[in-house]
Chains A and B, each alone.
Chain A
Amino acid sequence: MFSYKLLFFLPLISTIFTYPFGVLLGDKTAQYFSSTLISIAAILSWFLFISFSMSPSPEIIIPVLEWFLVSGQFFNWGISVNSLTLLMLTLVLTVSALVHIYSIEYMAHDNSKVRFMTYLSLFTFCMVALVVSDNLIQLFFGWEGVGLASYLLIGFWHHKKSANLAAMKAFLVNRVADFGFLIGIATLYIFLDTLSINEIIEGKEELLNYDINFLGFNINALVFSCFFLFIGAMGKSAQFGFHTWLPDAMEGPTPVSALIHAATMVTAGVFLTVRFSELMVMSDFIMTFVLIIGLLTAFFAASVGFFQKDIKKVIAYSTCSQLGFMFVACGLGAFNIAIFHLITHGYFKALLFLSSGSVIHGVHDEQDMDKMGNLFPKMKITAVMMWIGTLAIIGFPYSSGYFSKDLILSSSFNLNSFGPLVYLILAIVSAMTAFYSFRLIFKVFHGKYNGSYDYEKIHESGPFMLAPLLLLSIGAIFAGYFLNDLLAGYNSKNFWNGMIFLYQDKNYYSSFFPILSKSLVATGVAFAVYYYGFNLNKLADLKKRFYSIYNFILNKWYFDELYNKIFVLPLYNLGKFLWTRIDQGIIDKYLPNGSASIVSTISKAFKRIQTGYIFDYTFIIISGFTLFISIIFYISVT
């Protein structure tokens, strides 16, 4: 029990004490302090996970602290120990620990590295609180807490205007989705009178009995609450429609992108969906909706990833696309596979991000891929790491992506009628992924150097940055192999132990389909090699021929412009109208300024009374006396 509590409190201790330590003992000490604490937690989480997976037990809930009491209901901090949370904890804490260590070197030249470490630890604490939560209030606390940490870290370089704007955008977009999440929580509370996740899942049948009248439609309470929970998940996981904040979030330092915007926080949406899988599967509408959103996101993000110039944005869109894959798995009912992909993706995507951070560090904060090239001789280890990450993401056989992604593809046959269509789309998206991933490799590491920074000065990163890369590459290669049987194999039922919804029967699966998907992926790679490896001049030709499509994709399907037109501009204009006309023109002019001027006029009059002459003073006293006498006479007469 104590070790579980330790997992909960180590990040909190790090959050609280890192800053004072930094002030008292120096930056370095604080950095080592927080890295050590989180690393201890990470190692501990692995021990706990391994011992748990050896002998899976039913869920245990460890109470930590009483929080508050509202209308007879206690809300507590608790740790729910089960397969899902332990799995998530290993990922969160491992990546977090590695990112902590990585940041020691990456942020070495920054002035506020202690603040950075504090934010990272804060994020880790909130994420742990989210993952281990046994009730929706604590989950919501963690949910908002990671949102806050994400906001703080995106805007970490607050002297940059773009960073501030991106942070604000991330926060606002998430606010919209979080409102949906709150509606979902409130619905569950209204109908089931509890916020404990277990009790909600137990009471799922009861939910079916209620209807909600929403804008004139009668909607089943279950569908309603699941829908809004999923809206929350969409926001956090940057799904189609809410995805706009994720690419902009790349304004933050790269370790942040690796930790928050690739491996952990953005997967919270998937986690939430899986945590409520028992509820989600009860409605076909919800499952179809999840599936469609996932497919749309996967396809859309992959297409936008084609022509991005910023190295981090390419990886960001690929994150978005992979999250789409996870939701497709959810929509297909293969929740265990969604989590499987979440874990493997966490490792290889963190690897990709941290490698790209190493590249950016090496070429002196340059992020434009057009200004890179032929970096392989200069940074061999980073390049190899990037290759490993890329091979994992395209699903190269026996890398970790191979297992999880293929399982998603194959589980599309859970659907009877549209299964092949879903499969086809996913296969095409995989090919697209392969294309832009290899495009990145070739543009950055091979070909010819186009940058303005002195080529000779480009250097490989130091040990603090390379060690996390090496550790992550182990995860990127082997995580799939080792977890495959545990999470998705025949014995997975023992491991999951009823925590999530599992299909009873294994899907049928012919050998034709893997060949189709793999050959499509190979085609994608071949295209990338052809255009970016050897025939760069043909590329311009192609661009010219498909100019409108190219432009459409380059501008991210014009989503930002659309949102600007629909949401931002009208609100902005309304706000401006209210501000200049109503507030300044009417309210300010007459109420505060008007009353202030009245006050000053009156006080000037009072000042005039205070002449300083005794006869004036006497006069005032006598007039007071007269007033009193008049009142007495007036009242006695009437």
Chain B
Amino acid sequence: MINFYQFIPEIFILALILLTLCFGLFNKDRSIAINAVGFFILTLILINFGKDFYISTDLSLNTINLFVLSKIILSIGSIVFILLSKRPLKNENLYRYEYILFILFAILGSFVLISSDNFLTAFIGLELQSLSLYLMAAFNTKNLKSNEAGIKYFSLGALSSGFLLFGISMIYYDTGSFYMQNLNNFTTISEIGLSLVLISLFFKVSAAPFHIWTPDVYEGSPTISTLFFASLPKFASLIFLFRVYQELNISGIQSLNYIFQIVCAISLLVGVYGAITQKVIKRLLAFSSINHIGFMLLGIMSYQFMSEGTLFFYLIIYLITTFGIFAVLLNLRTVDGEFTKISQLNGLRFTSNSKSISMLVFFFSLAGIPPFAGFFAKFFILSASITDGFFFLSIVAVLSSVIAAFYYLTIIKNMFFNKSEIELLDDNNKIGKVIFISFGLIITLFFFYPDPLINLVDNLFK
């Protein structure tokens, strides 16, 4: 007998999808409002009853907490994203209700992925998520680059799905089961199978050397889609990666452990070295996200001896910062259309104080400069990894953030001290403005009032 009780969040999203399908035809604006309200209700439900959904299952309390917290974060992120997406879509003449549907499908896929306990469900969740993402990348059908990005993302994504399926079948061949908890004794075959699964997950979170699609797709897609790729689905995949690492006890398997460490180190380095020469802001953010994925992998690896939820903390701060940066970018437009080049940020201070100062806060936070929250995120990860004995990786991480500070600070310097070369149009998007200012405040005020966030992360892991 299947217990449907635990699928309530997913069923809720499915209901939203159906509702949007019905309403979207008649009224696009309303579908945005409906979804925002819907996710708000979902958030409330998850906060209040989230743990009850899983109580009848035999999951450990820790896992339940993980599910609930990540689903809460996903649905809050969805509210912010849906509210933010309206104006940029209208600007690009892309304002169609299908886009909202893709978001919903991707979120549904993410929900399924997060709480799946066998590889087949995970595959379905991942594919549901990815297919929506391919479409979102190619959503601007009149733009050649957007089409190219969609095609690239799709074909490379297909490759990675192939790896995933092949990996799953190898594991099935070896153990006769799709369930993660049945995977106890690793033979070489199942190690290979698991490594193939990992490759696919690394691909999704764009960890090097499987990051290769990221810059092109980020650059080509409409900026609003880029924000989506960089934030919520990546978050979900990372949570699943975290679960795989935890539940299959990968730290106990020497070879996979090496693989994790190598991927972490390469991600850290590729992220910074790739970013330095970039001229396009979205490519730079793509590489910067690769560097941050390196940090998160370090957090995943060093998690098991620390119970403070350093990884979650890092993820939340990273999400807030990413949303903030993209909210600023989406609020800026050039005469020719979307804002692309870094040099177009020059002299932003003279046009808009709130944007330049928010950007300053976000980039300082990404660079890990105190007193912004990003500093603490990095600090917690590093101290956890040093406690766990990952000295080499910690050194690499610190060095990489030294190099990373260079390009973050260059952008800030250009914003504050260079003359502007091009006239920027202010999109005057009220919602965007509220988002980046409030997120900037969160990042700043964390230093003075860290308790809420730390308590949130702490309590959910006790």
Residues of A whose CB lies within 8 Å of any CB of B are 599-600, 602-604, 606-607, 609-610, 612, 614, 617-618, 620-621, 623-625, 627-629, 631-636
Contacts and interface: CB of A to CB of B under 8 A. Distances in A.
Contacts of B274: 603, 606-607, 610
B159 to A, nearest CB: 6
Given A599-B276, A603-B277, A620-B212, A632 B188 contact: yes
B188 A636 contact: yes
B53 interface: no
A602 B276 CA distance: 10
Given A632-B192, A633-B188, 9 more contacts: A610-B212, A614-B151, A617-B152, A620-B212, A621-B156, A621-B212, A628-B195, A631-B262, A635-B254
Given A617-B213, A618-B159, A632 B191 contact: yes
B277 A628 contact: no
26 contacts: A599-B276, A600-B276, A603-B273, A603-B276, A603-B277, A606-B270, A606-B273, A607-B274, A610-B215, A610-B216, A610-B274, A612-B216, A617-B152, A617-B156, A620-B209, A620-B212, A621-B160, A621-B203, A621-B209, A625-B163, A625-B199, A627-B262, A631-B262, A632-B188, A632-B192, A636-B255
Contact of A635 (B151, B156, B210, B255): B255
A617 B273 CA distance: 18
Given A602-B273, A607-B277, A610-B274, A631 B259 contact: yes
A614 B277 contact: no
A612 B217 CA distance: 10
Interface string B207-223: 00110110110000000
B173 interface: no
A302 B210 CA distance: 83
B410 interface: no
Contacts of B256: 632
Contact of B258 (A617, A623, A635): A635
Given A599-B276, A628-B199, A632-B188, A621 B258 contact: no
Contacts of A617: 152, 156, 212-213
B55 to A, nearest CB: 39
Contacts of A623: 209
A289 to B, nearest CB: 49
A44 B30 CA distance: 73
CB-based closest 4 A-B pairs = A624-B209, A635-B255, A603-B276, A603-B273
A631 B258 contact: yes
Contacts of A634: 255
A32 B196 CA distance: 80
Nearest to B403: A599
A79 B163 CA distance: 78
B155 interface: yes
A607 B273 CA distance: 9
Interface of B: 151-152, 155-156, 159-160, 163, 188, 191-192, 195-196, 198-199, 203, 209-210, 212-213, 215-216, 254-256, 258-259, 262, 270, 273-277, 403
Contacts of A614: 151-152, 155-156
A602 B156 CA distance: 25
Contacts of B276: 599-600, 603
Nearest to B254: A635
Given A603-B277, A620-B212, A625 B152 contact: no
B210 A624 contact: yes
A9 B422 CA distance: 52
Which of A617, A618, A623, A632 has the most CB atoms of chain B within a 10 A radius of its CB?
Answer: A632
B115 to A, nearest CB: 27
Nearest to A620: B212
A618 B154 CA distance: 12
B280 to A, nearest CB: 12
A632 to B, nearest CB: 4
Contacts of B155: 614
Contacts of B192: 629, 632
Contacts, number: 78
Contacts of A602: 273
A339 B403 CA distance: 61
Contact of B195 (A599, A604, A607, A629): A629
A631 B255 contact: yes
Nearest to A618: B159
A608 to B, nearest CB: 10
Which of A599, A620, A624 has the most CB atoms of chain B within a 10 A radius of its CB?
Answer: A624
Contacts of A627: 209, 262
B185 to A, nearest CB: 14
Contacts of A621: 156, 159-160, 199, 203, 209-210, 212
B301 to A, nearest CB: 16
A633 B191 CA distance: 10
Nearest to B211: A620
Contacts of A599: 273, 276, 403
Contacts of B210: 621, 624
Nearest to A617: B212
Contacts of B159: 618, 621
Contacts of B151: 614
A610 B276 CA distance: 14
B194 to A, nearest CB: 9
A634 B254 CA distance: 11
Contacts of A631: 255, 258-259, 262
B277 A618 contact: no
A629 B277 CA distance: 32
Contacts of A610: 212, 215-216, 274
A281 to B, nearest CB: 52
Which of A607, A614, A634 has the most CB atoms of chain B within a 10 A radius of its CB?
Answer: A614
Contacts of A632: 188, 191-192, 195, 255-256, 259
Contacts of A600: 276-277
A632 B155 CA distance: 27
Nearest to B406: A599
Which of A604, A606, A612 has the most CB atoms of chain B within a 10 A radius of its CB?
Answer: A606
A618 B155 CA distance: 9
Contacts of B152: 614, 617
B358 to A, nearest CB: 27
A158 to B, nearest CB: 23
Given A599-B276, A602-B273, A614-B156, A628 B259 contact: yes
A523 B172 CA distance: 117
Nearest to B275: A603
Nearest to B274: A606
Given A632-B191, A635-B254, A636-B188, A624 B199 contact: yes
B396 to A, nearest CB: 13
A600 to B, nearest CB: 7
Nearest to B213: A617
B26 to A, nearest CB: 40
Contacts of B188: 632-633, 636
B282 to A, nearest CB: 14
A621 to B, nearest CB: 6
Nearest to B258: A631
A635 to B, nearest CB: 4
Given A610-B215, A617-B152, A618-B156, A604 B255 contact: no
B205 to A, nearest CB: 14
A627 B202 CA distance: 14
Contacts of B270: 606
Nearest to B203: A621
A612 B273 CA distance: 17
Contacts of A628: 195, 198-199, 259
Contacts of B275: 603
Contacts of B277: 600, 603-604, 606-607
A353 to B, nearest CB: 44
Contacts of A636: 188, 191, 255
Nearest to B148: A612
Which of B192, B210, B212 has the most CB atoms of chain A within a 10 A radius of its CB?
Answer: B212
Nearest to A615: B155
A632 B196 CA distance: 11
